[in-house]
């Protein structure tokens, strides 16, 4: 079983409705007028993920990061420590009226391009023909 978290966030500057979960958390932290306790917890959670969750090598190259906009990452259900922290992060986003989706899948809806002990990154089947990577 796999789990994906997605933020339904509308940014009036870019007119996009869906952003990466961590991008939305970062934007909220920088622009959201958060209560101190929420700001501190959000910062701790972001630091936790920055230091503990492996980052696929291709994301470290700016060129690949631009090409990989169609990729999606899913947690393996065995990644309980990360899923617990994602739910904490989701609770903060929801407190500030950002809709969060938790999507469960038995089978990944795309081609696997990265995998570690905690997560899998895929190119969704609908994007495979777009030469994204």
Mean pLDDT by 10 residues, the chain (133 residues): 87 62 86 90 95 80 60 94 97 93 94 93 74 47
* CA–CA dist 8, 20 (Å, integer): 9
Report the domain count for the chain: 1
pTM: predicted TM-score of the whole model, two decimal places: 0.82
The predicted structure's pLDDT at residue 5 = 94
Domain encompassing residue 77: 2-130
The predicted structure's pLDDT at residue 69 = 61
Select from 74, 55, 85 the least CA-distant residue to 123: 74
- In this structure, the number of other CB atoms found within 10 A of the CB of residue 111 comes to 14
**Residue corresponding to tokens 């101190």:** 36
* CA–CA dist 112, 125 (Å, integer): 10
The predicted structure's pLDDT at residue 33 = 84
The predicted structure's pLDDT at residue 129 = 56
The predicted structure's pLDDT at residue 17 = 56
Q: Are 123 and 110 in contact (CB under 8 A)?
A: yes
Q: How far is CA 12 from the centre of its chain?
A: 20
The predicted structure's pLDDT at residue 32 = 76
Q: Are 113 and 59 in contact (CB under 8 A)?
A: no
CA dihedral 77, 22, 48, 50 (to 10 degrees): 110
Q: How far is CA 108 from the centre of its chain?
A: 16
The predicted structure's pLDDT at residue 132 = 47
The predicted structure's pLDDT at residue 8 = 80
């Amino acid at each position: 079983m796999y789990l994906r978290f997605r933020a339904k966030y509308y940014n009036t500057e870019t007119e996009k409705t869906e952003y990466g979960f961590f991008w939305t958390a970062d934007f909220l932290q920088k622009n959201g007028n958060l209560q101190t306790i929420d700001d501190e917890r959000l910062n701790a959670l972001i630091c936790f993920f920055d230091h503990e969750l492996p980052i696929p090598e291709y994301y470290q190259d700016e060129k690949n990061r631009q090409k990989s906009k169609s990729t999606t990452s899913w947690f393996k259900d065995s990644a309980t420590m990360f899923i617990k922290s994602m739910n904490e992060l989701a609770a903060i986003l929801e407190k500030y009226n950002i809709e969060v989706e938790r999507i469960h899948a038995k089978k990944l809806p795309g081609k696997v391009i990265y995998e570690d002990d905690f997560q899998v990154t895929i190119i969704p089947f609908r994007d495979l023909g777009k030469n994204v990577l």
